[in-house]
Amino acid sequence: MKSGIIQSRRSRGDMKRMVSKVLAKNIEPLLAVAGKRLEKKYIAAAQNAEQAQLNVLNEIIGVAKDTEIGRRFHFETVNTHADYMRQVPVMDYEDLRPYVDRHVAGEQDVLFPGKPLIYTRTSGTTAKPKLIPISEYNFEKTIKNRGKLWLYGIAKQFPGVFEGKDFSLVSPAEDGYTADGIPFGALSGFIYKNIPEFIQRVHSIPYEVICIKDFHARAYTLLRFGVPQNVTGVFTGNPSTLVNLATKADEWKEDLIRDIADGTLRANLDIEPEIRKSITPLFEPAQKRAMQLEKIAGASERFLPKAYWPKLKVVHTWTNGNCRLVIPELKQWFEDIPILDFGYIASEITATDLVDAKNNGSRLALLSAFYEFSPEEEGDSPRTFLMAHQLEQGRKYYIYVTTYSGLYRYNMNDVIEVVDMFHQAPVFHFLYKGHGVTSIQGEKLSESQLIEAMQRTGKHTGVDYGFFVAFANAARSTYEVYVELKNTDSISDQRRFNAILEKMLCDVNIEYEAKRKTERLRPVCIIPLVEDAFVKYRAMRLAEGAFEGQLKWLHLSADPTVYDRMQKLVADPDISECRQKGA
């Protein structure tokens, strides 16, 4: 009897795997089934964006009216957008942190009914990271549908993109757990890990590989899986990651080809034993493919993705904001392969459904959240709040979101530019972070975090400092900190200050630490200023026409004008070793 049950289970398992293989080979027609329905629904919403957005707002408010935050702001009396604006203030994460902390402690019905399904973790404006709750209702209602529509849109614009394997890079779903056992990590990893088996078969990268902690071991293993396969689509947010991996593939090509031929994985890689054990059986000797790759490697100066992935249809990654500076280098590796923008995706919200290849912009996800916008020129004291249908092509706006996961009039502190309109839905580009925050590679470093890191560094090193300004140098992928060092002029003290500041920035911002570990950011660079730097800075600004009583400055900026000003105050262009070495 027992053996019969076991045999029956094996048969069902074999049948399930066979069905998954068949479905995986027909993924594009399958995506079209749900995709066409969702696209039709989206077009209807875009044709009357005002009503579609008001319907979303009414549903969010109605669902949350009996929660702690709903009672505080009297959601039961909100009937119009004007009511909502009058009763609910614009908020940032620190305003919502007390509510999130109550969820984290195990309470339910605080920001939304029930408890979070998961939390995404990201850097905040303080040293304490943000945990962004994701409700199960939101996941089922919007996130799943967004994924179906997005994939359908990619397949529609680039036929054959899923005929082979995809090379998708995400972050781990689980970095840890809250006190009541709810995981926190990356939403991208959670989705990657939990999609249907037939879609998982399209992935060239097993989820376990993403969880390898050592950066170089993970990079090599990603390439060990990806390079020998027929990759037809590359998907990841950060283009610098792709540049790094393409560079590493060229550097490691001999080892990779040897491992591919032998069906092995380098033994000297720092891979967690349980992960190595789980992925090792997936490798098989591939002498023929190794010979092809060896021929490709010997045919040109560089080992190019276009050569080892000849059927690649698209590279889908961020191309706007600071990432645009990386695209020329990315094109050197991927040559004539189309590069499509990844859309507006943040820990708090994925605000785009369809990416428009015509202008490389993204259509606002009208059915996923409620959005408000303020003109960029109103800065951090907005007076005007517009709905999606009221935006104008060519204008720049700050964006505020109200989500099914408990964010209400949440200030994203992001500036977007409308590049087109799809019916009444704006098509837009992300431009840059707003006031007091910079982001070169997605680290979202805040001015308060920089100040705290500087204070910790001064205390730890005993080096006194005065006036300082950090410039986010996206072209060099580093932060250049212009600082007046008061009680030292020695190179050794500068080196130590530089090293400790690097450590403190990692301590106060988890995303900065992650980007440094993966080499997307270069080390911070200290540039000493002349004596009495602030006096000279003040004189410079007054000479430019600034009013003395209104003279203000930020300690953190990505404005090229700030760079030009600080360059005029550098003590000695040769003293900054990190810049000399291209750090």
Could you report the per-residue pLDDT of 76-124, keeping only the tens digit for each?
999 999 999 999 999 999 999 999 999 999 999 999 999 999 999 887 6
Specify the pLDDT at position 127. Answer: 62
- Give SS3 for 117: strand
More confident position, 207 or 126 = 207
Euclidean distance between CA atoms 479 and 483, whole angstroms: 12
pLDDT at 339: 95
- Phi and psi torsions of 33, nearest 5°: -60, -55
**What six digits make up the tokens of 537?**
């800075």
Query: Which residue intervals of 237-390 are DSSP H helices?
Result: 239-251, 253-262, 273-279, 287-299, 305-308, 327-334
Tokens of 323: 């990432």
Candidate from 221-230, 294-303, 359-368 with smallest mean pLDDT:
359-368
Asked if 80 and 111 count as a contact pair (C-beta separation under 8 A), the reply is no
How far apart are the C-alpha atoms of 387 and 73, rounded to whole Å?
21
Compute the mean pLDDT over every residue in the chain, rounded to the nearest whole number.
Answer: 89
DSSP 8-state secondary structure symbol assigned to residue 484: E
| CA dist., res. 120 & res. 346, Å (int) | 10
> Torsion angle, CA of 276/278/279/281, rounded to 10 degrees?
110
pLDDT tens-digit map of 180-200: 899 998 888 888 887 777 677
pLDDT at 46 (0 to 100): 97
* pLDDT for the residue numbered 457: 95
The model's pLDDT over 413-442, given as tens digits with 9 standing for 90+, comes to: 899 999 999 999 999 999 888 877 888 988
CA–CA dist 24, 463 (Å, integer): 60
What does the alpha-carbon distance between residue 185 and residue 205 come to, in Å, rounded to a whole number?
19
Residue 346 DSSP label: -
Evaluate if residue 521 carries a pLDDT over 50: yes
CA distances to 35, 259, 317, 361, 568 from 535, in Å: 61, 61, 44, 45, 13
In one-letter notation, the amino acid at residue 64 is A
Task: Please write the tens of the pLDDT for every residue from 203-235.
Answer: 999 999 999 999 899 999 999 999 999 999 999
> How many whole angstroms separate alpha carbon 136 and alpha carbon 313?
34
Burial of 22 (0-12, 13-18, 19+ CB in 10 A): exposed
Does residue 450 surpass a pLDDT of 60?
yes
The span from the CA of 479 to the CA of 118, in Å, is 32
CB-based contact 306:337 (threshold 8 Å): yes
Residue 453 gets which letter from DSSP? H
> At 91, which amino acid appears?
M
Q: Which pair of tokens denotes residue 202? A: 């399209």
Q: Strands (DSSP E) along 376-460, which ranges? A: 396-402, 410-422, 425-433, 437-438, 445-446
Q: How confident is the model at residue 129 (pLDDT cuts 50, 70, 90)?
A: confident
- Under the banding of pLDDT at 50, 70 and 90, the label for residue 359 is confident
Domain ranges of the chain: 159-337, 441-580
Percent with pLDDT over 70 in the chain: 91
- Residues near 521 by beta carbon (within 8 Å), at least 6 away in sequence: 440, 441, 443, 477, 478, 479, 512, 515
Q: Which residue has the higher pLDDT, 575 or 473?
A: 473
Strand partners, 465: 485
Cα(352)–Cα(316) distance, integer angstroms: 14
Closest CA to 505 of 521, 491, 488: 521
* Distance in angstroms (rounded) separating the CA atoms of residues 187 and 175: 11
